[in-house]
Amino acid sequence: MNIPIVMAAFGTGTEAKKTYDIIDRIASEKFSGHEFVWAYTSRTVKRRFQDLKSPRQALSELKDKGHTWAVVQSLHVVCGHEFHRLMEEIHDVDIRISVGLPLLISPEDYEMVVNAVTPLLPSDMTQEAAVLIGHGTDHPSWTAYPALAYMLRERFGQKIYMGLVEEGYPTRESVVASVKAAGFTRVKLIPFMLVAGIHFQQDLMGHEDSWKTAFEARGISVSADNRGLGCCPDIVEIYCGHIRDALNVIP
């Protein structure tokens, strides 16, 4: 009996479903013969959609089917609060588990992310800066974002920036000021989130109090990529590598 794989995503919605379908297709092809089960860690999703499984429910059902082991693959970007809540939820389930870690873990992961986002960058970066925008966190894992920014700048120089929607650093204000001071007249916003959902629509490209309006207020024109990281096959491959790592430690 092949080890089942529980894909632990945060939330759901129209854009999320499209993104998860892409991830599921790629991962299922790479791990054919393994059962894939989707589960959701968002507390709001659990309250609103009773038919969607939590990771704990998914693992309990797999136990009832006779499985003794399962992989739980986190689809978080960093090991922040949501990842640790996932670990707390599943730590005492009645089935042995091996955890596939979030996107940004090892230096090799960061290098692969830099390679993966390269096709999303502007073709001419002499006048157009690129700004990758993540969700952000006040968890100590917030340092993952500046670390990635450092590696991006090692590759592409001072034409690329990292910003965050919510907690953490760099903030929107600091990024907008830096882009303006560097003399750029155009900027491309790239959502550094698994799904380009409500944060993309409102916080990045909304008509009020958004990254778009903040740049435009400084005379900088804005374009954007409307796809989340989960739509990028090279990003999905990093998660698949973490699934592979989790499978390899199972006796």
pLDDT of residue 1: 77
| Pair (13, 69) in one structural domain | yes
Tokens 């969607």 belong to: 52
Residue 201, both tokens = 């629509």
Q: Which residues pair with 242 in a beta bridge?
A: none
pLDDT of residue 86: 96
Looking at residues 185-197, what average pLDDT do you find? Answer: 95
| Pair (201, 119) in one structural domain | yes
Q: Which residues make Cβ contacts (< 8 Å) with residue 231, sequence separation at least 6? A: 18, 19, 22, 196
Looking at residues 130-146, what average pLDDT do you find? Answer: 96
Rounded Cα distance between 142 and 33, Å, is: 37
| Pair (237, 180) in one structural domain | no
Q: What residue numbers bound the domain in which 128 lies? A: 107-229
Residue 131's CATH number = 3.40.50.1400
| Pair (217, 155) in one structural domain | yes
| Pair (240, 160) in one structural domain | no
Share of the chain above pLDDT 90, in %: 85
| Pair (120, 80) in one structural domain | no
Residue 1, both tokens = 């009996």
Question: What's this model's pTM, rounded to 2 decimal places?
Answer: 0.94
Alpha-carbon distances, residue 125 vs 18, 151, 221 (angstroms): 30, 17, 14
| Pair (122, 81) in one structural domain | no
| Pair (219, 235) in one structural domain | no
| CB distance 196 to 228 below 8 Å | yes
- State how many domains the chain has: 2
| Pair (217, 244) in one structural domain | no
| Pair (79, 174) in one structural domain | no
Tokens 């917030």 belong to: 142
pLDDT of residue 44: 64
Residue 38: CB atoms within 10 Å: 18
Residue 114, both tokens = 């830099």
| Pair (207, 220) in one structural domain | yes
Rounded Cα distance between 186 and 216, Å, is: 9
Q: Which tens digits make up the pLDDT trace of 23-82?
A: 999 999 999 999 999 999 876 655 555 668 999 999 999 999 999 999 999 999 999 999
| Pair (143, 133) in one structural domain | yes
